[in-house]
Amino acid sequence: MTTIPSRIPSRRPAPVDLLVHGGDVLTVDEAGTVVPDGAVAVRDGEIVEVGPAEELRARYAAADTLDATGCLVLPGLVNAHTHLAMTLLRGRADDVTLQGFLERVLRWESELLSADNVATAIRVAIAESVRAGVTSALDMYWFHEAAERVAREAGWRLHTGPTFMDVPDAADGIAYEDRLEWARRDLAGRTRRPGTRPVLFAHSAYTLSPEQLTGIGALAREFGALLHIHAAENATEVATVEVRHGKRPVELLDSLGLLGPDLLLAHAVDLTGAEIAALARTGTSVAHCPVSNLKLGCGIAPVPRMLSAGVTVGLGTDGAVSANTLDVLRALGLAALVHKADGDPTAVGAEQAVRMATIEGARALGLGAELGSLEAGKRADLIVLDLSGPHLAPRHDLWSTLAYAARADDVRDTLVDGRVLMRDRTLTTLDEGAALGDLAALVSRSGLV
């Protein structure tokens, strides 16, 4: 007797590590696809498939599951400019100008900083970020090796590397003339992991000479590294650079041949039309930091003009001394509001602001192919937002919900590389109580209180 084979071969479910299922999946792909009652299948830290929950439940056998029913699943937020360890000084330099702020902070840093103290502060900063749904950050600071160690232990994605700032008494004790070699050794020793790239930080055109900037740029190019720099943060900075070098910061960077797709500017508040055109022409990206810019009275970056010129704009919080928060959702909300102040309510719409906090931030870092949206082949950096709060009801438009109504404490689960770092609002890889205790002890030891 022969059996007649079924016309539809029964396929055994494919094994995956995790299935996040139920809830609406806001993919933030090019088309802005939303999958109602959707699912995301994850294997080896990578998204295998995004689709209707019913189909993915049948197609995959998951070792672990996360029920997102009644929630919104979206890409993890990307903090495109911060100084995480400055959490140590949160609330210590408020209501001052940028220049007054820098004066105070630089003095404290040279007295306070050590690898251990940076590690203590970073632990709290990562806890705050994970709670706020931030899955990666571009972090410019001293003692980046200590920061990387803590981030690795927590399973969190930190984009960092050597920083250049020619100031007396560098906080890490490395003399300026030794820094290029130190940075070269750092870059040479790195292995490329998915969702990361080498990074170099040049603090600014007012703490580095044109020759120093050129040398740092050459080193970045040699290793295919992203170069990140503060530029045109306020009018005083622009005037300082102009008096010293006869050119505004962006003009100076352009004349040195440093603009390009591997350069990311932080702030870019004080720009001329010609400078915006130069950023667009060269593919230079910008990290917009509205909270910090407003608090330091720096002004409002010309984001609508940059966007219409085609400049890639991500969102940053800046450090917790200048912005007092690492909450990217807050920056997102402000980015969607502050540009309307000139009288145009269409400036930076809700969807545009959400994209800036996700895929555009990833693109600004040169990692748009690996991060920033929920698509097969990308890293599984995603968050689950609890939509049950009254402040989120009803939901006519998910972009609007995120930009104008959602809060950091609505984030329920945070995943990086498919690993759950926060499950049901409990951190799974960081001892938050111990981290806060260590920070409090450090602050009281340091004489800051």
| Contact footprint for Zn ion (CB under 5 A) | 318
136 φ, ψ (degrees, to nearest 5): -155, 155
Min dist CB 214 to Zn ion, Å, is: 22
Of 172 and 318, CB closest to Zn ion: 318
CB neighbours of 38 closer than 8 A, spacing ≥ 6?
Answer: 21, 23, 24, 25, 50, 51, 52, 53, 73
Of 251 and 318, CB closest to Zn ion: 318
Min dist CB 131 to Zn ion, Å, is: 22
Residue 263 three-state SS = strand
Do 332 and 77 contact (CB within 8 A), yes or no? yes
Of 23 and 314, CB closest to Zn ion: 314
Min dist CB 216 to Zn ion, Å, is: 17
Of 50 and 102, CB closest to Zn ion: 102
Min dist CB 318 to Zn ion, Å, is: 5
> In the complex, which residue's CB is closest to Zn ion?
318
Of 298 and 422, CB closest to Zn ion: 298
Interatomic CA distance for residues 227 and 320, integer angstroms: 22
Interatomic CA distance for residues 158 and 106, integer angstroms: 23
Q: Which two tokens stand for residue 360?
A: 């555009």
Min dist CB 80 to Zn ion, Å, is: 11
Of 318 and 360, CB closest to Zn ion: 318
Of 318 and 386, CB closest to Zn ion: 318
Min dist CB 104 to Zn ion, Å, is: 15
CB neighbours of 326 closer than 8 A, spacing ≥ 6?
Answer: 79, 82, 84, 87, 125, 128, 129, 132, 134, 137, 317, 320
Min dist CB 81 to Zn ion, Å, is: 6
Of 34 and 96, CB closest to Zn ion: 96
Which bin fits 209, alpha (ψ -120 to 50), beta or left (φ > 0)? beta
Do 187 and 225 contact (CB within 8 A), yes or no? yes
Min dist CB 51 to Zn ion, Å, is: 40
Distance of CA 33 to the CA centre of its chain: 23
337-361 as b/e, with b when 16 or more CB fall inside 10 Å?
A: bbbeeeeeeebbbbbbbbbbbbbbb
Of 201 and 399, CB closest to Zn ion: 201
Do 144 and 162 contact (CB within 8 A), yes or no? yes
Which bin fits 73, alpha (ψ -120 to 50), beta or left (φ > 0)? beta
Question: Look-up: residue for tokens 């980046």?
Answer: 144
Min dist CB 97 to Zn ion, Å, is: 15
